């Protein structure tokens, strides 16, 4: 759908059915999709990922997580060893193991755009608290809640966190996080998209009113498309999985896509198919069927 001339959601059109081309690449979200709610990778899923690689189907993890939170799946990357992190802001080689990842591609959010978004959202939604995600650390405003699994690098107003001489200013900004304690999650998302427009890409993956803000045009879909182009893989040869609004563009772009049984309504509308919930190994269920169909 278009709003004010820009794409705001992506419902798969009836004339674009799921692809029947044999898959060459599987792109899967992590939290709420590949991972169970306890953040584990089930033995069935581990086996399915390995079987896909053995069958010649590449597997890409495509997540909103930063690279340093990828330890849970680092042992399960095969071949290329790459993962797309930060909602498309970075492509990371995980072969080095915990603490040894290498950034292969970075699509940063410039501090100038980030500051513009901060000022815009402060005006549109008073009470918004911000965090700044750089390549190697998280920086928080004092009013930002303890939502994440690591201590921050520093507490300061967003204007100071994004200043030229701030701590870790030499590290690219991967995304800006915005939290509101009173607005409903989808209400906050719609408000922010309307206020910011095309100046940045805004999405969410949390059940709370927490927005994830990337550079203009930066998304899971656009970075996955770049990686596929480098490999000569067409969208019709990609099977994608997801559960939250930050997966919508990727699911629409891929030739075949699956919403998890636990997915957000926007994801169900965008995907060409649906599988069972993450806790029931929905990704593995589909991979097993894909491999059986190749035999």
% the chain with pLDDT above 70: 91
The pLDDT of residue 151 is 75
Domain 2-107+219-294 has CATH 3.40.50.970: no
Cβ atoms of 39 and 47 within 8 Å: the answer is no
For the chain, which residues make up each domain, given as ranges? 2-107+219-294, 111-214
Q: How far is it between the farthest Cα atoms of the chain?
A: 58
The pLDDT of residue 38 is 94
pLDDT tens for 74-104 read 777 666 678 999 999 999 998 776 667 789 9
**C-alpha span between 197 and 123 (Å, rounded):** 14
pLDDT tens for 109-151 read 999 999 999 999 999 999 999 999 999 889 999 999 988 777 7
**C-alpha span between 285 and 220 (Å, rounded):** 23
Structure tokens at 3: 């709003």
**C-alpha span between 202 and 6 (Å, rounded):** 13
Q: Do domains 2-107+219-294 and 111-214 have the same CATH topology?
A: no
* pLDDT of 1 higher than 80: no
Please enumerate in sequence order all residues whose Cβ is within 8 A of that of 49, keeping only pairs 6 or more positions apart, or say none.
59, 76, 78, 287
First-residue to last-residue Cα distance in the chain:
39
Q: Looking at the whole model, is its pTM more than 0.85?
A: yes
Helix/strand/coil for 176: strand
**C-alpha span between 180 and 159 (Å, rounded):** 18
pLDDT tens for 162-192 read 999 888 999 999 999 999 999 999 999 999 9
Cβ atoms of 228 and 234 within 8 Å: the answer is yes
pLDDT tens for 12-53 read 443 344 557 889 999 999 999 999 999 999 999 999 999 999
CB burial of 116-127 (b: ≥16 within 10 Å; e: otherwise) equals ebbebbbeebee
Cβ atoms of 106 and 173 within 8 Å: the answer is no
* pLDDT of 5 higher than 70: no
CATH of domain 111-214: 3.30.1240.10
pLDDT tens for 70-82 read 877 877 766 667 8
Residue that is written with structure tokens 């928080």 in the block:
140
Helix/strand/coil for 53: helix
Question: Is the torsion defined by CA of 151, 179, 72, 97 positive or negative?
Answer: negative
């Amino acid at each position: 759908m278009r709003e004010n001339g820009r794409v705001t959601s992506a419902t798969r059109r009836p004339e674009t059915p799921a692809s029947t081309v044999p898959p060459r690449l599987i792109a899967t979200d992590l939290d709420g999709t590949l991972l169970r709610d306890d953040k584990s990778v089930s033995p069935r899923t581990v086996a399915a990922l390995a079987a896909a690689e053995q069958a010649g189907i590449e597997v890409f993890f495509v997540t909103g997580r930063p690279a340093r939170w990828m330890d849970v799946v680092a042992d399960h990357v095969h071949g290329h060893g790459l993962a797309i992190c930060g909602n498309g802001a970075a492509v990371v080689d995980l072969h080095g193991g915990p603490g040894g990842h290498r950034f292969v591609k970075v699509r940063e959010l410039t501090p100038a755009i980030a500051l513009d978004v901060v000022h815009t959202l402060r005006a549109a939604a008073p009470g918004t608290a911000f965090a700044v995600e750089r390549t190697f650390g998280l920086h928080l405003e004092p009013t930002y809640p303890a939502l994440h699994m690591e201590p921050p690098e520093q507490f300061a107003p967003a204007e100071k966190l994004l200043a030229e001489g701030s701590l870790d200013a030499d590290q690219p900004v991967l995304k800006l996080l915005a939290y509101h304690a009173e607005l409903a999650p989808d209400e906050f998302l719609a408000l922010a998209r309307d206020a910011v427009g095309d100046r940045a890409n805004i999405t969410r993956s949390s059940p709370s009113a927490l927005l994830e803000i990337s550079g203009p045009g930066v998304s899971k879909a656009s970075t996955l498309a770049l990686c596929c182009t480098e490999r000569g893989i067409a969208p019709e040869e990609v099977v994608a999985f997801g559960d939250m609004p930050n997966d919508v563009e990727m699911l629409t772009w891929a030739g075949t896509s699956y919403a998890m049984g636990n997915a957000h309504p926007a994801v169900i509308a965008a995907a060409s198919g649906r599988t069972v919930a993450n806790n029931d190994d929905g990704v593995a269920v589909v991979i097993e069927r894909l491999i059986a169909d190749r035999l």
